[in-house]
Homo-oligomer: A and B are copies of this chain.
């Protein structure tokens, strides 16, 4: 067989060999050519194809394993890992998971949806270039029947065209995106804001009460994927993280 995946590994000659190997495989994983579950060729096969010693190949694979992109087991070999659903303080990307982790029943409802060029106020809120078509969604998530968080989101149709055909009636948009799109970078911002009249009503709190606002934008290789504003009623929510002086523990 010539299309077992080995041929896809190509070095670029830039920098140390182990790093060329690491980047070559990393790129195959991140751009979707090797989806989760794909077998990575064994070390000896990479050795032969790339003309490197086993230690050099090994070093690249160990580093990728430490970064979480692949998992390795003796005898059964190396496979591309599934991206972790959550990995740090603010990184619970699935609100259903977040709610169920608290031991509550989860439900959600789409409050509004509008496809196409965003209205000026939406474009301003998410710092969009006005021309790009998006889906603009407002969703309310419930925990044990009570309002949990209010979500306002834009999905960039140029990056995720398949979203146009999805109703988001059974799977909330954040979870649908996790399953149907790739992302390579995210940015979070956290702030405290007062609930506006409509927000207060939807969250079942008083006007002006403090809320935690989580803003998240994600990209896949320079292309914007989605941007979301999550408004949590204050007091009821805390974001917690632990680490040491040199990094996470």
For A239, what are the chain B residues with a Cβ–Cβ distance below 8 Å? 188-191
- Contact indicator per residue, chain A 162-185, by CB within 8 Å of chain B (1) or not (0): 000000000000000000000111
Asked if residues A212 and B189 are in contact (CB atoms below 8 Å), the reply is no
- Cα A245 to Cα B94 in complex, Å, equals 13
For A240, what are the chain B residues with a Cβ–Cβ distance below 8 Å? 187-190
Q: Does A16 contact B (CB under 8 A)?
A: no
Q: How many copies does the complex hold?
A: 2
Given contacts A211-B210, A234-B210, A69 and B246 within 8 Å (CB-CB): yes
Q: Does A87 contact B (CB under 8 A)?
A: yes
Least Cβ–Cβ distance between A16 and chain B, in angstroms: 12
- Cα A192 to Cα B87 in complex, Å, equals 22
Asked if residues B189 and A192 are in contact (CB atoms below 8 Å), the reply is no
- Cα A194 to Cα B205 in complex, Å, equals 13
Instruction: For A193, give its contact among B235, B245, B249 (CB under 8 Å).
Output: B235
Q: Does A14 contact B (CB under 8 A)?
A: no
Instruction: For A247, give its contact among B87, B183, B210 (CB under 8 Å).
Output: B87
| Other A-B pairs, 10, CB within 8 Å; known A185-B244, A189-B238 | A185-B242, A185-B249, A188-B240, A190-B190, A191-B234, A191-B239, A192-B192, A192-B232, A209-B210, A210-B211
Question: 4 closest pairs, A vs B, by CB?
Answer: A192-B234, A210-B210, A192-B192, A83-B245
